[in-house]
Amino acid sequence: MKLGFTILFARDLGPLVEFYKNVVGFTASAEYPDWVEFETGTAKLALHRAGPEDAETRGLGLFFTVDNVGALVRRLQERGLEPEAPPVDQDFGFRTVAYTDPLGNRVEFGEPLAP
């Protein structure tokens, strides 16, 4: 079994599309008024418009594997985005760095450490 989508629900997709497309740099593979898909490797990140009766989504954490955390941090800094803290080598085998998206969701990127 593989993860196919991670879906973020929001009433206003605009700030999330701006963040994931123009700041993080993901490529949108589908864009509709109520649904946007981004290619992220083996799974897709989808943004789905929440209905007016739905609560705004908060507290979701996303983890993306990358080849080079340092290069990612530099690229995002060039786009005006600062990490929550400098990258750190974790005991679970990844060098990670975390950010917060426009809805307050934690977005973490991890580079596998050499064994």
- Model confidence pTM above 0.85: no
Coil/strand/helix, residue 111: strand
Domains of the chain (ranges, CATH numbers)? 1-51 (3.10.180.10), 62-115 (3.10.180.10)
Judged against a pLDDT cut of 60, whether residue 45 lies above it is answered with yes
Determine the Cα–Cα distance for residues 24 and 76; give it in Å rounded to an integer.
7
DSSP bridge pairs for 97: 109
Residue 56 confidence class, pLDDT cut points 50, 70, 90: low
Q: Which of 105, 109, 101, 104 is nearest to 17 (CA)?
A: 101
Per-residue CA distances from 6 to 64, 70, 75, 110 (Å): 11, 25, 23, 17
